[in-house]
Amino acid sequence: MTDRLRWGILATGGIARAFTNDLKLNGFTVQAVGSRSQSAADGFAAEFGIPNAHGSYAALAADPEVDAVYVSTPHPLHAASARLMLESGKHVLVEKPFTLNAREAQQLADFAAERGLLVLEAMWTRYLPHMVRIREIIAEGTLGEVRSLIADHTQKLSDDPVHRINALELGGGALLDLGIYPISFSWDLFGAPLTIQSTATFKRTGADAQIATIFGYGGARVASLLSASDTLGPNTASVLGTLARIEIDRVWYTPTSFSVIGADGAVLEEFRSEVAGRGMHFQAEAVERLVAEGNLRGDTLTIDESVAIMGTLDAIRAEIGLRYPGE
């Protein structure tokens, strides 16, 4: 690809640092950063050698040297932040979860389409080499009929009630921060669930601490998913088929290895890959490719699928009685 996009980074938190580091490691052009304060923008720009530092999101949106923006604000600000960038003609990669709910997601998708711009959810796991290979193996029929997915995303995070993960006003809780990963994986394998069963435990702030979910699909397929912010689990995943299974090693949603194991216990394939950095640049590659192709709907993860996944998250929240302030 010869015509590279010039990237802007909106917000300067930890996930923005990880993404920007991966872009720099892999030869992308990071042109600008925008923060709520000039000092934060200046510090971030100095750390990563970024030419343009803006002390407001509006200034980043107005930067004529930026083609695409990575939005990494807190969950409730995703929709407004992305819309601001779209209004200025920028393509947008929005940190997962795409928005706070399906209504916001559909509005944002419609607005991008009206503007003739790409807006994409930054579900970076979809683009990692081991996930690409897993989809190939399934398509080749090695597993036979794929029947089930078992996956957890469990971490022991802060119990401080003012920490973002525990603050409902920031969309905190296990579901949006952690549960989005196995839920998106299940959508990748099976599509929309026909039935959803969920149960949860909660912290004193009202934020969800644990979410256990079972999805039912046609064709005798199920997914068993667990996410938690108060306990650290194995963070592995298994895809089970009638002829073989895939066992994805820890940590399954980051660059890792996996084994394909036949019904007789024989190892059919062992996958290993070397990734520069955390692997968050693969989604940026997808953005640049899609823009170059004029594909504004996406392919590996389409905008329509991101909207529908937000609908699944809404359904889970309705079942466990979880609402965010202002909804």
Is the separation of the CB atoms in 91 and 119 below 8 Å?
yes
Q: Within 10 Å of residue 79's Cβ, how many Cβ atoms?
A: 22
- The Cα 40–Cα 33 span in angstroms is 10
CATH level 3 topology of 129-274: Dihydrodipicolinate Reductase; domain 2 (3.30.360)
Is the separation of the CB atoms in 31 and 52 below 8 Å?
yes
Which strands, in side-by-side order, build the sheet including 52-54? Answer: 52-54, 29-34, 6-10, 68-71, 91-95, 119-122
The predicted pLDDT at position 326 comes to 84
Cα–Cα separations (whole angstroms), residue 191 to 152, 156, 185, 289, 309: 18, 30, 9, 24, 9
Tokens of 233: 């689990």
| Residue 261 burial (10 A CB sphere; 0-12, 13-18, 19+) | middle
Is the separation of the CB atoms in 212 and 223 below 8 Å?
no
**pLDDT exceeding 90 applies to what percent of the chain?**
97
CATH 3.40.50.720 fits 6-125+280-297, yes or no: yes
Determine the 3-state secondary structure of 152 from DSSP. Answer: strand
Q: Left, alpha or beta for 196 (phi > 0: left; psi -120 to 50: alpha)? A: beta
The predicted pLDDT at position 327 comes to 86
The predicted pLDDT at position 1 comes to 43
- pLDDT tens digit sequence for 263-285: 999 999 999 989 989 999 999 99
Cα–Cα separations (whole angstroms), residue 55 to 62, 195, 254, 290, 315: 12, 46, 32, 30, 38
Please report, for the chain, the start and end positions of each structural domain, with discontinuous segments joined by +.
6-125+280-297, 129-274
- Residue holding tokens 């950095």? 277
Return the ∠ at Cα 208 (arms to 101 and 216), rounded to 5°. Answer: 65
Low pLDDT (below 70) residues in the chain: 1-2
Q: How many CA atoms lie within 13 A of 303 on its CB side?
A: 24
The predicted pLDDT at position 3 comes to 75
Tokens of 13: 């938190």
State how beta strands 68-71 and 6-10 pair: parallel
Tokens of 314: 């809404």
